[in-house]
Amino acid sequence: MSSAMYERMRANPKFLELVSRRERFAWTLAAIVLTMFYGFVMVVAFSPASLGQPIAEGSMVTVGVAVELFMFIFFWVLTALYVRRANTEFDAMTQEIVKEAWKENK
């Protein structure tokens, strides 16, 4: 029974649409986080001095502190963006796909 449901959902073009949209969005965000994070780790490993520079002449705040604070906030904003889009747009599409599969079932 449920295998037939899965079969119908898979055949629904909306399913492909959902998957490709969500995967593209998720992987883009993941790529941003991974690039920034491992980029940062590389700078820590290979060029630590550049993180020790002050952000402005005479300021006590270093580039490293500013960059990290930015990443904490930015990564969290990215999670918020993903959650918002997934919980509205993607979930609505999912519900539609499931509903259509039920309808065909009858």
List the interface residues with other proteins, window 14-33 (CB under 8 A): 15, 18-19, 22, 26-27, 29-30, 33
Tell how far CA 56 is from the center of its chain. Answer: 32
Number of neighbours of residue 43 by Cβ within 10 angstroms: 16
Please say whether the beta carbons of 98 and 85 come within 8 A.
no
- Angstrom distance (rounded) from CA 41 to CA 48: 10
List 80, 92, 104, 105, residue binding other proteins (CB under 8 A): 80
- By CB under 8 A, is residue 52 in contact with other proteins? yes
- By CB under 8 A, is residue 100 in contact with other proteins? no
- The one-letter code for the residue type at 88 is T
- Angstrom distance (rounded) from CA 87 to CA 70: 25
Q: Work out how close the CB of 26 gets to other proteins at its nearest, in angstroms, rounded to a whole number.
A: 4
- By CB under 8 A, is residue 10 in contact with other proteins? yes
3-class secondary-structure state, position 56? coil
Binding residues for other proteins (CB under 8 A): 2-3, 5-6, 9-10, 15, 18-19, 22, 26-27, 29-30, 33-34, 37-38, 40-42, 44-46, 48-49, 51-52, 59-62, 64-65, 68-69, 71-73, 75-76, 78-80, 82-83, 86-87, 91, 94, 97-98, 101
